[in-house]
Structure formats: C-alpha cells, structure tokens
Amino acid sequence: KKYTYIFGTSEEHRTALERLYNLEQSRFRLEDFFEAFNVEPVSNNFFKEYKNFYQDFVFHISNDKKSRAIFEQEKTDDVEKDIRNFVKRLLGRLVFLYFLQKKHWLGASNKKYVDGDTNFLYNLFKYNEQSEEHFYSKWLSNLFFNALNSPNRENDYFLLPSGKKVCVPFLNGGLFEEGQEPINHREISISSYLFEELFIFFNSYNFTIYENSPEDHTVAVDPEMLGHIFENLLEDNKDKGAFYTPKEIVHYMTQESLIEYLKTHLSHSREAIENLIKKHITTDFNKEEIKKVEKLIDTVKICDPAIGSGAFPMGLLQEISGLKAVFHFALDKKPEDWKPAAVKQAIIQNSIYGVDLENDAVDIARLRFWL
C-alpha cells in the first residue's frame, strides 16, 4: 500500500507534522511506520473536533434569546431538534465549500474558474471581522442563497466586502435551497469567535476532492468524510440503521456485485471475471468479448434501497469508471479520446439509483457525487 503526505504547497501541514512526530517518538517498528501514515486516526480526529464545533454552535444559538425566538416562531414540535438540524446544514455547507475552494472555484476572476481563492471562506470572514456577529446573516446567507443557489447573475458575480466583484458558480445540487431554513433565519446571530475557530480548524487539514481506493490513501479530509459526519450526527442513528461503512467493505461489496452480475451474462469462468474486475486483466477476453462486457457494464442498473451517504453507489462509480478506462485502451482507442468526466457523468445518470428515508442522507449522497 502507498500512503502519502504532500509538502511544498500552500496547505498547512498540521496532520503530517503530528503523525511524523509520533513516529519519531516511537521504537521505529514496521507497525509504527504504518500507524504514522494511517488515514483512520486523521478521520477520527477530524470528526471528534468537528462534533465539538457542532455542539458549540448548537449551544450558542439555543441560548441566544433572539436567535432561539426565530426557531420558536416556526411553532414546530421540537425547537432543539430544529436548531440541531440548522447547524448540521450550516456546517455541512461550509465543509462542502472547503472542497470547492480547493478546486479554485470560489472567488475566480472569470467563469473559467481557474484562479479562485483556495482560502476564500476564511478571507471572506477576515474582510468582515469588524461586523462581529453578522457574518452568517450578512455574508454567508448572501453567498449561500443569493449566489450559489442563484443561476441568473451577470457573469456569476458575487460582491466582496471590499467592493470587488468575483465569480462564484451556481450549484444545482439542492444543498443551498433556502426553503429548509426558518423564515427569519437571516437574522440569526452567531459569534464571530466560533467562525474564526472553525475556519482555523478546517485550515489545519488538507482537503482533497478525491475519494481514494483502500489501496491508495492521501492523508486528508476527502468527501467520504461527509458521509462519516452525517452518519455520526444523525439523530437516533442506531434505530434508523445508519452506520459508517469502511472503504474496505465497500470495495469488497462493489467488486462482488459486479462479478455476480457479469457471471449471469457471460460463459467465462469466475476466475476470469474476477481477474477482470479485481486486477483489470483482460487476457481471457478477445476484443469482441470485451465489447460485450462493456455493453453489459453500460446497461447495468444499480439501486441502493438505503443509500445513506452514498458509500456503496460511490464505490460502484469508481469501479465502473476504472473498468471503462481498461476497456478503452484494451480496444486500442486513442488516449486523447478518453474523457473521464463524461464517462462518470454517464454512469451517474444512467446506472446509479438510490433512495433513503432520511432527506439529509440523499442530500449528502448527491453532494459526494457532485464533488
């Protein structure tokens, strides 16, 4: 297995420094090296700190008379639960935007989105620091609902506190729909101190937009963490059957599903199909047979009846797109004709389906596919 830290970038390197310091203090056994590059402690530490912030935001809003009154005006059965759900959405949106800003998509100079600010949110906060408790009401609400959820803006413009116009894309994902919030949510006051500490926490981790296979981890916060966060913060998660599924189990399940599917349509041995799925070995298939397998893969329909945060269908997307790449080159097609984004979009649109009792689960699953 290969484990990776990335240095020499503008990222902060807290995680790498902590893990390598632990290695230095160890007895330098082989398992000590594996532990230093193990992604699970990073994910667990991130979630523990994230949950503390979640609880701080909930406590602050619940105990602020003006903010609490906004939720009480809705006259629902459970004000505390409404506040918790509001905070989940707020923090989920911010985590999502941390992934997006790493793609240079926030604060770009034009709609090509190649030169955006990779620290857009924290810089937006620092511009606004003097406004004390109005960062959510004045700037985040404007960014969420008037920019990211608004398709009819001239050149995708968003006006910074400095008066400068920058580009922020319209995201057609449902995450930034305002209808889920209380009517007067833009009047909610949240301490600037909480936001500053939250952004410092986020900035200490290296966010990546890649969901790696179990064989190749970059030690970072990847979109899989969105699912981990959702499953751990879901109310009564045991009663609702929400559990975190490790990558290794997802990897096994997705491969076995595809093997069983192909077995029902092909006369090849199970070993040959396993070699194709697990090792991408095509020597047991001639070109006509590869075309047949590709057609079977193109027409497969996969439904997860309890999609949760999308771990299983996301794993299938990775498996199928990997197979499509193998088929492309096995059939001697031109390398420049390989379009991975278009391939993945076709798989998502045509092959992958899912439902869930929890609306939040479906939103998180969409989010991961969007990323």
63-82: pLDDT as tens digits: 999 999 999 999 888 999 89
The crossing angle, in degrees rounded to 10, of helices 192-203 and 39-62 is: 170
Residue 315 has a pLDDT of 93
Residue-level pLDDT at 247: 80
Sign of the dihedral through C-alpha 335, 341, 347, 349? negative
Amino acid found at 213 = S
Q: Which residues of 195-224 are buried (b: 16+ CB within 10 A; e: fewer)?
A: beebbeebbebbbbeebbeeeebebbbbbb
Q: Within a 10 A sphere around the Cβ of 140, how many other Cβ atoms?
A: 22
Quick one: pLDDT at residue 132? 60
Q: Tell me the whole-structure pTM to 2 decimals.
A: 0.81
Q: What is the pLDDT of residue 117?
A: 94
State the alpha helices, DSSP H only, in 234-284: 247-263, 270-279
Q: In the prediction, which pLDDT does 215 show? A: 66
pLDDT in tens, 290-337: 999 999 999 999 999 988 888 899 999 999 999 999 999 999 999 999
- In this prediction, the residues of the chain whose per-residue pLDDT falls under 50 are none
Using CA atoms, how far apart are residues 166 and 246, in angstroms rounded to an integer?
39
Q: What's the confidence (pLDDT) of residue 36? A: 83
